[in-house]
Amino acid sequence: MCSLGLFPPPPPPGDVTLYELNNALVCGRLSEQLPLAFQSQVPELPVLSLPKEPLKAHGRLEPSARPPFIHHRESLWKRCLSAWRDAGLCGLLRELASAEDEGLRWLRTGSSHALAMCRWLSSLHGSLFPHLSLTSEDMIAAFSQAVDWAGCTVRAFAWHPHTNKFAVALLDDSIRVYNSNSATVPALKHRLQRNVAAMAWKPLCASILAVACQSCVLVWHLDPTSLSTRPSSGCAQVLSYPGHSPVTSLAWAPSGERLLSASPVDTAMLVWDVSTETCVQLQWFGGGGVTYLAWSPDGSKVLAATPSAVFRVWEAQMWTCERWPTIRGRCQTGCWSPDGSRLLFTVLGESVIYSLSFSEYRGEMQGQVGGSKTASIVADLSETTFETLYGEERIGGEVHSMVWDPTGERLAVIIRGQPEAPGSQVAVAVFRTRNSPVFELLPCGFVRGERGARPQLISFHPCFPQGALLTVCWSSGRISHIPFFFVSALEPRASPRRSPVPVLGSVREQPLFSEL
């Protein structure tokens, strides 16, 4: 089993990680260039520095605050429709209970009693699922893949699956799209684009971007040939569903045919047909909501994490699922191997990485998830002290987010550290991985940014031919791209017909029971 004690010491203070060569991370000064032989192999990507000062987050609204342009002179049924769309049943009852029409005294009384009952049931439900008592902003911050969603400049990041283009969601709820082949930087703004939690580009498509917002999902249709820096809000579709907000996670099917959205307050995840703006609920009671989604690259399975100590894996043909209760806390993050045969995931409150392997069923067994009954611990990330020439450095703790590169040969992990322990730090650890013929997880090194900068988000370029390209968004607002140069094993990246491989005998088995 891999542990942080096997890693080389972190780079010295003042140095930054530049690239990987010969299975080792190379560090140096920020101004240093790549070796001349490699400069032509890396695309001209913008290295951004987005300071926090010019950006201003929207102020928080109290739950009872009314939007400034909706007034009481509207008819009651229009106000009720708006309340139902924005806040569901409780919003509708609240609007009816505050109606001022004299002839509706009986309706106000009944609505007031029904609202009191809903609030009592909500408080009972909230005692079982404490996250339901949080505000929308606090809920997004708790379940976001960004380390400090509420305070960092960059709140979400998404690479385009086929080109050197990426989208950045900022603190002021604007989204900027950068392209290595164009100097034009479109800025996306919409009145419903508030508290952006996640973004995802549609596969096999030039420029369709889905955005998870507080009250809905926005789907931007961008013209890649346009020179406009401010696309009209008419370019965005609005996908909303009562009781499905805030939206904290999105996932496109690798074929681009369907879009999944998840909310911590909705026990169902929604499968959207974007062209018709309709959705189907995948309902499964228990868990208190859905916080994080990850569709396997081969399109066969979907990971759905919940706010409680259980997560599910759905198969995407018959849409059946299996559930795994965890030992201590909720599933924090997860990522799939390129062939969809292995899931790596972490649990809140634990400093380890788990692995689940999946079988492929044919014939009568087709349509089953096929997950193994137990998860294996493949990495121990407990806090480790490194003795360096510059003093002691302590790295280790819970994993906040984790990404696996498309070749299946590099795994990057953000380790939160121990916030209550002095000297502990947030760090990015990089592993070398192999999924066939046996699963291996080997240490590579730590990624370091500028002095004082903490990693917030990580993402791999989906199609970097020279190995892997890791993008790191830092707390300083800087977005850096770190190339890992290696020769890939050239295995198929998304072959849906592969059998799972055995895990090395050095890993420790942990019982996590699967229940249909």
pLDDT tens-digit map of 431-481: 999 988 899 999 999 999 999 899 999 999 999 999 999 999 999 999 999
The confidence score (pLDDT) of residue 101 equals 65
Q: Say which residue, 372 or 295, is predicted with more confidence.
A: 295
**pLDDT score at 496:** 40
pLDDT digits 0-9 by tens, 21-35:
999 999 999 889 888
pTM score: 0.82
**Single-letter residue type at 426:** V
Contact call for residues 406 and 463 (beta carbons, < 8 A): yes
Q: What is the mean pLDDT of residues 85-107?
A: 70
**DSSP code string of 162-228:** SSSEEEEEETTS-EEEEETTBS---EE--TT--S--EEEEPTTSSSEEEEE-SS-EEEEE--TT---
Residue 367, both tokens: 């349509």
Whole-number Å distance between alpha carbons of 69 and 77: 17
Burial of 328 from C-beta contacts in 10 A (0-12 / 13-18 / 19+): exposed
> To the nearest 10°, the Cα dihedral for 279, 253, 326, 244?
-30
Average pLDDT over residues 128-153: 87
